[in-house]
């Protein structure tokens, strides 16, 4: 019964179902693993959290906070760029769904491709639409969190030795929200990586599976084994030795 539904209604072969499940499972499992593993070992996100806290601690001591405002503007522009780019991609995908037959002819003409029906091609495009919709929500929420941070930076009181608890609470609050914004930006950017893997489905289901594994390897290496992370960790160790 399930096989008839997949083949007759959705025009999905079992290899397409396996590829789609492997893609979804790989994304969810890696996101879960990255959050769990990142809380136990050094990662790009956790290492940058230390520098975010350091930045807020330095910001409290400054009377003129134009430097901090410029930093906030630069960070916000990055999220705004990806959010606006995601909207353009979504518009292009939705528009292309009206030209499924032309897209089908184009894809089927490529070498090593599995010929797909119009219904299956629509499903593949819908998967991309869902991926970039998720990315847009992550980027837009990160932008709002950065806007909240800008207000908190402006409202942060000057450093006073008589009331250290107040400043500790202020530092923790701003550092946590900037960390949340950075996490949402990472999730949105991760969606772009997995969208590349999903593009492999247009050519062959096995290519999608291989591309998913390749994307997970790239993400893991950059998050936990990259030279950038090593530089951040070395800087942390040097700072600890100086103190």
118 vs 61, higher pLDDT: 61
Q: What is the pLDDT of residues 168-209, one digit of tens each?
A: 888 889 899 999 999 999 999 999 999 999 988 888 889 999
**pLDDT surpassing 60 at residue 241:** no
Alpha helices in 39-117 (DSSP H): 44-61, 66-96, 100-108
Q: What is the pLDDT of residues 206-228, one digit of tens each?
A: 999 999 999 999 999 999 999 98
Asked if 208 and 23 touch (Cβ cutoff 8 Å), the reply is: yes
Q: What is the pLDDT of residues 94-112, one digit of tens each?
A: 888 776 666 555 556 556 5
Mean pLDDT, rounded, for 32-51: 91
Element (H, E) at 9: none
Asked if 112 and 158 touch (Cβ cutoff 8 Å), the reply is: no
Q: pTM of the entire structure?
A: 0.85
- CA 153, CA 171: separation in Å to the nearest integer? 9
What percentage of the chain exceeds 70 in pLDDT?
81
| Sequence-separated (6 or more) residues with CB below 8 Å from residue 198 | 23, 124, 127, 128, 131, 208
Residue for token pair 């990472």: 186
> Distance of CA 92 to CAs 88, 129, 140, Å?
6, 10, 19
Mean pLDDT, rounded, for 23-33: 96
Position 145 scores a pLDDT of 94
Residue ranges covered by each domain of the chain: 14-242
Number of residues written out for the chain: 243
Q: What is the pLDDT of residues 70-99, one digit of tens each?
A: 888 888 999 999 999 999 999 988 888 776
Residue for token pair 């100086």: 242
Please state, rounded to an integer, the average pLDDT across all residues of the chain: 83
Position 131 scores a pLDDT of 96
Position 161 scores a pLDDT of 60
**pLDDT surpassing 70 at residue 147:** yes
**Tokens for 192?**
């772009």
Position 102 scores a pLDDT of 61
């Amino acid at each position: 019964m399930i096989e008839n539904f997949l083949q007759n209604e959705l025009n999905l072969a079992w290899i397409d179902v396996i590829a789609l499940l492997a893609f979804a499972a790989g994304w969810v499992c890696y996101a879960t693993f990255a959050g769990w593993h990142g809380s136990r070992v050094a990662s790009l996100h956790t290492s940058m959290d230390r520098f975010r806290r350091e930045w807020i601690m330095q910001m409290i001591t400054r009377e003129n906070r134009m430097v901090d405002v410029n930093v906030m503007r630069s960070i916000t522009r990055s999220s705004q760029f990806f959010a606006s780019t995601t909207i353009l991609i979504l518009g292009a995908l939705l528009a292309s769904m009206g030209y499924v037959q032309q897209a089908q002819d184009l894809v089927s003409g490529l070498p090593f491709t599995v010929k797909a029906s119009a219904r299956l091609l629509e499903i593949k495009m819908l998967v991309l639409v869902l991926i970039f919709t998720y990315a847009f929500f992550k980027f837009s929420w990160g932008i709002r969190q950065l806007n909240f941070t800008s207000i908190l930076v402006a409202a942060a009181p000057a450093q006073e030795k008589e009331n250290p608890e107040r400043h500790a609470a202020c530092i923790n609050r701003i550092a946590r929200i900037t960390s949340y914004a950075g996490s949402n930006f990472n999730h949105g950017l991760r969606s772009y990586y997995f969208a590349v893997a999903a593009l492999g489905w247009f050519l062959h289901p096995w290519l999608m599976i291989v591309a998913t594994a390749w994307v997970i390897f790239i993400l893991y290496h950059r998050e936990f084994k990259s030279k950038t992370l090593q530089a951040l960790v070395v800087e942390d160790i040097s700072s600890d030795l100086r103190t």
